[in-house]
Amino acid sequence: MNHKNSVQLSREGKWMTMKKNAVPYLLLAPVIIFVCLFMLWPILNVFKMSVENYMVTRPAQRHFIGLDNFKEIFTDDPVFYRALGTTAIYVLVSVAIQTVLGFWLAWLLTRKFKGRGLVRAVALVPWAVAGLMVGIIWNLMLGQAYGVINDLLVKIGAVDIKPSWFSSRTLALTAVVIANVWRGIPFFTISYMSAISGISDELYESAKIDGATAPVQMFKITIPMIKDTIIITTLLRAIWTFNAVDLIVSLTDGGPNRGTTTLALYIMNTFQGSGDFGYASALSVISTLIMMIVAFIYIRMGKMGKGV
């Protein structure tokens, strides 16, 4: 083989290598373009609007104001701090109860008993119901005069007078938490059932031989083995609860007196109600940063992926 043919083969080899290496990038290109157009650009645009005075009714007066929106939020906006506190209570209490009840239900549904398939199907129904519909359902169930919950409370002697669930902040927030817990339990149940089913039966058999009781098996085997599942499910559900507004809008609409107005609902009301896009964008940026920081700390503290 002469030198000319050798050079030609070398060039063809390099060209084939380049084409082979370029294939993954070409396959990823549509996804990257989609993310940039429909995710990255809107996010960057929100950050841009957060440092502007931008009223939708006065677009010609839109101008850069720096950190004035953020300064007003932290120094002269009592609604922000109240909404942030309401959000913290709503998310923490809801997710904590859902985690415990979801794990308990998953533990029961992984046991063998007659009619288990039917019970599993019924237990997972709330997850298929839309948030707006959940709010309407529980609004009817918690109605003071006609609600079935109040009738049951009176019949069992828990209360003498039917409570008005939507007249005070405490009761209204309790109602919102109850409705959210009812809707969210199936998500945890499904996730934990899948994780528990993946644990080897040999571990439980060995534990029984060693004399371990059911509670010991739960805390020494089951929970440690599904630790990563618990972390990711609680984190995902916390993010969804933090950002969701549909259930609250249909159940209490943020009342009474903003008592159930979460940060996400406050952002939506500011965006749609007053039309102050700049201020709403600043609230959105703060909300995003809060969730990013909380998620990072939670994953680090939970040592996700570190094993048992």
Residue 169 pLDDT grade (very low, low, confident, very high; cuts 50, 70, 90): very high
d(CA 33, CA 39): 10
Phi-psi category of residue 211: left, alpha or beta, with phi > 0 → left and psi -120 to 50 → alpha? left
**More confident position, 190 or 112:** 190
Residue type, 249: V
- CA 99, 122, 236, 49 dihedral sign is negative
d(CA 10, CA 204): 61
pLDDT of residue 192: 93
256 prior amide bond cis, ω within 30: yes
DSSP state of 60: G
Mean pLDDT of 275-281: 92
pLDDT tens for residues 186-226? 999 999 998 988 888 888 888 888 888 888 888 888 888 89
pTM above 0.95, yes or no: no
Contacts of 182 (CB under 8 A, 6+ apart): 126, 134, 138
Residue 46 predicted with pLDDT over 80: yes
